[in-house]
Structure 1
């Protein structure tokens, strides 16, 4: 599933980079590097989210409605005993 820790870490890095950016004087090259790093972190967040969506979709495909109804019936039979 989605690695929430990785997303949290990326968001923390973005926040720090944003603060650094605002503290920089007139150094366009350094500002560009900071912006590039922020964009990379946003890409990582997007990649993590997409991977989680893919895994969830695959799981839903595996579970299918027939499997769910069969499992419910099996559980009902076990409870009835």
Structure 2
């Protein structure tokens, strides 16, 4: 499952970094640091999404189409 809390926290950090970037007028080094922090947070969001996709894929592999067919068959027999 995708950890939405961590994604939300990263989005909050990105928003703060962008505000910092806008406030820095004449310090290119600090602007680069703010942009670097923003990129790192986007990277964390991508990692969290990728882990969620991996978990979902693993779950789907465990279930398998044969198992789903058997479960549907059992449900139709009950009715």
- TM-score, length-scaled by structure 2: 0.91
Q: Which residue of 2 aligns with 1:65?
A: 65
Q: Residue 20 of structure 1: CA displacement?
A: 0.7
Aligned length in residues: 79
Where does the alignment leave 5 or more consecutive residues of structure 2 unmatched? Answer: none
Q: CA RMSD in A?
A: 1.1
Q: Residue 75 of structure 1: CA displacement?
A: 3.1
| Match status 1:22 vs 2:22 | yes
Structure 1 residue ranges, 4+ long, deviating more than 6 angstroms after superposition: none
Q: Which residue of 2 aligns with 1:4?
A: 4
| Match status 1:36 vs 2:40 | no
Where does the alignment leave 5 or more consecutive residues of structure 1 unmatched? Answer: none
Q: What secondary structure is seen at the aligned counterpart in 2 of 1:26? A: coil
